[in-house]
Structure formats: C-alpha cells, structure tokens
Amino acid sequence: MPSKRLTDYLDQNNIKYTTLKHSLAYTAQEIAAVAHVPGKNLAKTVIVNVKGKLAMAVLPASNKIDFDQLKEALGTDAIRISHEKEFLNLFPDCEVGAMPPFGNLYGMEVYVAQSLSEDKEIAFNSCTHSELIQMKYKDFKKLVKPKVIKFSFQSKL
C-alpha cells in the first residue's frame, strides 16, 4: 500500500495519479521490467550526501549518476552516495530503499536528471517494493520544485 503521507499530499493538491501493483522487486531495472514501465520513465531515487547534507538524486531507472557532472552542477567535490544507515530513520512510512522522489515531504533537496524532466509521465516507488505511483511529470514538478540538472547517463546493460 502506498504511503498515506504521499497519497494524502497528492489528493490534497488535486493531482491525478494511478497506482501500479507489481510482484516484489528491489532494483529499479527489475521494477521497470515487472511493472511493464519503460526504464526511462521510472524515476529511481538515490540518496546522496552533498557537503554533509542529504539530498535526493532522481533519475531514470535506465541511467546512472555521472558524479563529475553532478559535482560541477552543484559546485562542490563533496558529493557521495549516502550509506543506508544515514537515512534509515528519515522515511518511517517507507520500506528501506522504496522512498518516493518527494524530498519536500522529508525535508530534503531534490535534484532531477534533465532526461527525466523531458518525460510526460513518470512512475516511482510509493514507499513499498511492490507498488508504484504514476503521474504527470508537470504535476510532480509543480509539487516538488526540483532542481533540474544534467547528471546522468544511459546505463549499458
């Protein structure tokens, strides 16, 4: 079941969305496959540590973070992927690793990969490893107000 915090927030803002149930999956590429969502439209959330502060890097499931681009865009060399223990308690309504890209609900900055911002619709974890929420990117942008920057590249699988 999706996070009540998230669905209440979407409902209060009159956002149209759908929930997609799928079999249990943990990696973004695995989720895209079992949910029949193109990897470029599935937003994966990676928690990064930027100068000692946690933030969300949101990119297509089929992409990887280009840390050189991210460092340049944010003007710092002090960026790394966060350790799970650093953010474990920040998402009490979510299964570990299934946090949605709504940093505004958790007091975090959100950076969205430029390529994801070009999609009409995106899907993302809804705090569980067996359900997604799908909505228009423009509605996501309106609610989250992410910083859109170029920091990802297509993964070669």
Range of the domain at 71: 4-154
**pLDDT of amino acid 7:** 94
pLDDT by 10s per residue, the chain, length 157: 668 899 999 999 999 999 999 988 888 888 888 888 888 899 999 999 999 999 999 999 999 999 999 999 999 999 999 998 999 899 999 998 899 999 999 999 999 999 999 999 999 999 999 999 999 999 999 999 999 999 999 877 5
**Distance (Å, whole) CA 50 – CA 5:** 26
- The dihedral built from the CA positions of residue 144, 131, 119 and 70, taken in this order, carries a sign that is positive
**pLDDT of amino acid 1:** 63
Q: Which DSSP category does 83 fall into?
A: P
**Distance (Å, whole) CA 41 – CA 85:** 28
Q: Which amino acid is at 81?
A: I
CA nearest neighbour of 151 among 28, 60, 23, 25:
60
CATH number of the domain to which 107 belongs: 3.90.960.10
Please tell me whether the overall predicted TM-score, pTM, comes out greater than 0.75 for this model: yes
- CB neighbour class for 137 (10 Å; exposed up to 12, middle 13-18, buried from 19): middle
What's the domain count of the chain?
A: 1
Residue written as token pair 């949910």: 35
Name the token pair of 29. 């590429």
